[in-house]
Structure 1
Amino acid sequence: MMERVCTPYEGSGHRPWDDAAEIPAPLRLHRAPVSPRWVDYNGHMSESCYLLVFGDNSDAFFRYLGIDEQYRQNGRSLYTVESHLHNRREVAEGEPLALSLRVLDTDAKRVHVFHEMRHGDTDLLLATAEQMLVHVDTAAGRSCELPDHLQHRLRAIHQAHAALPVPDAVGRPMGIRR
């Protein structure tokens, strides 16, 4: 039997939302050392593991927002429908990772986010991920509107993050420049 992928936050629930609390810009919700399981034959973190760590950062964000196991048991979740990864630097086993996330945009069904992965000691940029998330009715297998309370929270986070400069990597197409 294959073991399923779990984030470090599974089973931790979510913290209560406080409308009066200041929203950090960007959010800094996840830190982790590079696990030995993430290191490949080149001696640094394997490319697929960058996405795994960004997924853990997303899960921390979902819990900040109010999405946890109980929310998902009610047949709703956020799914990633598109990801653009930019690997900038290598990182080795045991080195500290510090992640941030900003909400670039949101509407009734979608959330456009940008992650940065930095070295926890030197603050060097290691990688970025731009992602489009969609709210899904898991039973129907199709997108659906976020409930009003989550739309309200996302708009508040987006407003707090709107003052940040848009990262250069956002919206860039991939291709060979000629």
Structure 2
Amino acid sequence: MRKTTFYLASFLVASSLLITPQTVLAESVDVSIDSEITKALRQNCSSVRVAVKNIHTNDALTRVNVGQRYNSISTKLMARLNGRLAINKLDSSKLVNITNNFESARLKFNSNYNDYDTAMTELQRASCLDNIADYYQKLIAARDARNRLSEDIKTMNDLLIRYREEVQAVKGSISGGQNG
């Protein structure tokens, strides 16, 4: 049991380091017909479209990998450890609470990713030459959706850190925390 707890804690630390969010923030800007943004979009339309396509493709691959990792952490590690602690009649109420919060955050991440994917698909279908203001609004919507994903990842990583800390506390309460 102690070795399992140690391995779980080690895995949680390693996995939280692997899936650290990359925060992307930008300020909202009003687009008028003569603005610099309009001119830049018009002049760089094809390169912007290629960049959007590449980001969408890369984010889809990243989402699959990150989603699988979070799912594995939730189902294969957190749920199993909580179950083992319950079977051994050890107080794991804090771990269960953190696990529930993590699962809620994971489901929110999945939902927000679907919103982001829809926003990116709409952006890719839009024309940055025919209707620049509409294209820019879709770009803003995609950016905002991506920022929500970043917040979701930060929330999940914070919950993993709390879970790891609580695992350490439980480990310390078992036989004085001696390894065996």
TM class by shorter-chain length? under 0.3
TM-score, normalization by structure 2: 0.24
Q: Which of the two has greater strand per residue?
A: 1
Structure number with the bigger relative contact order (C-alpha 8 A, sep ≥ 6) is 2
Q: Which of the two has greater helix per residue?
A: 2
Structure with max Cα Rg? 2
